[in-house]
Structure formats: C-alpha cells, structure tokens
Amino acid sequence: MTTTDAGQTLAFSHTGKLGKMLGLAAKNAFLSIITLTLYRFWARTSIRRRVWSRTWALGDSFEYTGSGWDLFRGFLISLPCFFLPAIFVFYIAPYVMEPGLAVWLTLGFYALAVPVIAAARFWMRRYQLSRTRWRGIRFGLVGSGWSFAAASWGWSMLQGLTLGWYTPVARMKRARLLWENARFGDQPFGFDHDPEGDAHGLWWPYALSWFAPFIAFVGSYVIMIMLALIAGAAWLMQFGQQLQNGAAGGEPSPAMVAAMIAFFVLWVLVGLTIWLLLQAPYKAAAMNKIASMITLDGARFKLRAATWSLFAVDLAGWLIIIFSLGLLAPLAGLLQVRYVFNRLELIGVPKFAEIGQSVISEQEAGESFADAFDLDLGVGVI
C-alpha cells in the first residue's frame, strides 16, 4: 500500500563548497603520496563523509558510516584475486611466454575482467548504500553481484556486436536491475517500464555521442589549423619545417619545441571540449530518464539535467583532473554530486515515519572488494 503524501514535492540540495573540499583533497593527496598511495582508502572515506554530510533532504543531511579499514580489506582481497594476475598478464607474460599464448591469455583475461568489474560495481553500490543513512534509516541493496555480472556481461557482448548501438538499452537495463534491488529501510525502490521502450528518447542523443570521437578529432584538427593560420602563415611554415627537420634528424629550436608542445596540448584540449559537448545531450537525457523511472513508495523522482550546464560541469571536472594529474579528482566528483542533487526532486513525499529500519544485514551487504577498483572518482557515485 502506498503511503505517499500526494501533491508535495521534496527538493534535494547540496551545500558542499569547492574551497573547503580543495583543502581536504590537497591534504589527502599529500598523505597519499608520502604513504605511497596507502592512505587513499582513508582519504576516500573522509571525502565521502564530507560529501554525504553536505547532502540535504527535508532539513536533514545524509550520513556515511563506512571506514578506511573496510576499503583497505577490500584491496587486500582484490590484490591476489585481480591485480597480481593483471600485472602478470600485461607486464610479465609477453616476455616469458610464447607470443601466441600470451595473446590468448590476454584475451581470456579481458573476457574474465568484464563480469568481474560488473560484479565490482554491484558490490560497490551495495557497500555504499549499506553505509548510508538518512534520519537514522539505512539504505541497502539485495540480490547477487554475480547475477548482475552475468546479465551485464550479456549486455556488454550485445554492445560490442552492435558497435555500441545497444548501449542506451544496456544502460537502462543495468539501472533497472540496480534500483529494483535497492532499499530504503524496509521500503523497496521501484523502476518503471516505458511502454515505448527502454531507450525511448535516447537514440538521437546517443547517435550524436557515437560519432563524437570522429567529429572531435576532425573538428579539433580544423580548428587548430585555422588558429595557426590566424597566428601567421610564416609561423605555420616554420612549424612545418621544424617538423620535417625533426623527422630528418635535425634539432628544432627550444622555442619551437615549446610551441609544438603547446600546440599539441591545445589540440588535445580542443578535441576533449568538442567530445564532451557532443556527449552531453545523451548523458543529460539518460540521467533524466533514469531518474524519472525511479519510484519510492509511490513517489517519483525528477532530475533537471541540461546539456550546456552538464557540459560545463564535465569540462571543469576533466580540466581539474588533467591539470592536477588526478590528485584533485574528488573535486571533479564533488561537482558532479552537487550538480545532481541541486537539480533533483521527489514528486510526492513518502511518509518516512512509516518506513522501518532495514532488514538487510549490514555485514552481509557491506562488500568492500570493489572499492579497490576506484570506479567512482573517490566520492561514492557510480
């Protein structure tokens, strides 16, 4: 029976500040460096606690109760199960085994890695939900990680066989499988079916994203040539001559080397910008559709993601990651989290007082193996 108060709207919000997160991220990066990355598990936990505590609904913030030790234990489990075999397959096998056998070993490893990483995503979501509370009520996730992995593996194969065109359907199916198994206390989430098809409304945005790599490569090349022409035909001719000299074994001048490096860095940044812009319509459409399909006790979610604003957030995040060499990746994650929660609403507010505590064992729900894969920019968002 539904306990929703119809006609009401619950708006989420996120009050995280980039300046304060910058200080925490910088401290965590420093401690991770001097401990040879060992501190990263506690760093990720501190980031999540900060992000969770700045996420609000009905005047109450969320709480994250996970620990760095949980993630460290997950890493110890994944080390012999995944990372050491990966090191052998990619860095040792090519030198100690016959080439043909090494190739087959690599292909076999990839075939195994696809379902393992899919299961890791499920376990990561289960761990994060089981360590998330709002008003004292714990979230949870039921079901089997390996069942999710098997289904995801099949969808991945279809994505490959269709050269990626099955991706919108696969994304919706993965979202359905995760959300139909999610719980808030003893209340299950739901995920509606679109009578016009799972991927209805996503095909044209996805078509644009499918061609994005080619368009970005060609477009960035054309733009850079135009910029070089604007800078001066003489400079462009000198640049070409220096490239020929380098190919012929000559020594380009230091100034020209610096100009060449700047040219190629700018080329990459222009290409990245075009690619993110062409990806944004599909990403926004998929996020909005997934949110609109999720229900809780009769209430429905609504997300107002838009192409240009999402593009700006993604571009800012990538620039932070690139220019900080990945050390400040949590800032990029914070931008994404803040963007989503400041645009998220729940249409029809459930009677939360009638929702009981979770009946899922926290210990059973709290798998930590997957967090060693670091699939979420360190902030706990898939």
pLDDT score recorded for residue 359: 58
For the segment 15-26, the average pLDDT, to the nearest whole number, is 91
What's this model's pTM, rounded to 2 decimal places? 0.85
pLDDT score recorded for residue 264: 82
Mean pLDDT of the chain: 84
- Cα–Cα distance measured from residue 78 to residue 81, given in angstroms and rounded to the nearest whole number: 5
Which of the four pLDDT bands, split at 50, 70 and 90, describes residue 72? confident
Instruction: Give 11 or 233, the one with higher predicted confidence.
Output: 11
| Per-residue pLDDT tens digits for 39-52 | 988 998 999 999 99
- Cα–Cα distance measured from residue 124 to residue 365, given in angstroms and rounded to the nearest whole number: 10
| Per-residue pLDDT tens digits for 165-188 | 999 999 999 999 999 999 998 899
For the segment 68-96, the average pLDDT, to the nearest whole number, is 83
Rg (CA), the chain: 24
All residues at 6 or more sequence positions from 174 whose CB lies less than 8 Å from its CB, including other chains: 148, 151, 152, 155
Residue 288, pLDDT above cutoff 60 = yes
**What whole-number percentage of the chain has pLDDT above 90?**
46
**What whole-number percentage of the chain has pLDDT above 70?**
83
pLDDT score recorded for residue 247: 53
pLDDT score recorded for residue 246: 57
HEC secondary structure over the chain: CCCEEEEEEEEEEECCCHHHHHHHHHHHHHHHHHCCCCCHHHHHHHHHHHHHHCEEECCEEEEECCCHHHHHHHHHHHHHHHHHHHHHHHHHHHHHCCHHHHHHHHHHHHHHHHHHHHHHHHHHHHHHHHCEEECCEEEEECCCHHHHHHHHHHHHHHHHHCCCCCHHHHHHHHHHHHHCCEEECCEEEEECCCCCCCCCCCHHHHHHHHCHHHHHHHHHHHHHHHHHHHHCHHHHHHHHHHHHHHHCCCCCCHHHHHHHHHHHHHHHHHHHHHHHHHHHHHHHHHHHHHHHHEEECCEEEEECCCHHHHHHHHHHHHHHHHHCCCCCHHHHHHHHHHHHHCCEEEEEEECHHHCCCCCCCHHHHCCCHHHHHCCCCCCCCC
- Cα–Cα distance measured from residue 341 to residue 346, given in angstroms and rounded to the nearest whole number: 11
Inter-axis angle of helices 145-161 and 167-179, to 10 degrees?
170
Q: Do 375 and 121 meet the contact criterion of CB atoms below 8 Å apart?
A: yes
Q: Which of 60, 75, 66 is nearest to 47 (CA)?
A: 66
- Cα–Cα distance measured from residue 234 to residue 308, given in angstroms and rounded to the nearest whole number: 37
- Residue keyed to tokens 């900080």: 324
| Per-residue pLDDT tens digits for 336-376 | 999 999 999 999 878 776 676 665 655 443 344 444 444 44
pLDDT score recorded for residue 53: 94
For the segment 77-101, the average pLDDT, to the nearest whole number, is 83
Which of the four pLDDT bands, split at 50, 70 and 90, describes residue 121? confident
Q: Do 253 and 308 meet the contact criterion of CB atoms below 8 Å apart?
A: no
pLDDT score recorded for residue 90: 84
- Residue keyed to tokens 């606690």: 49
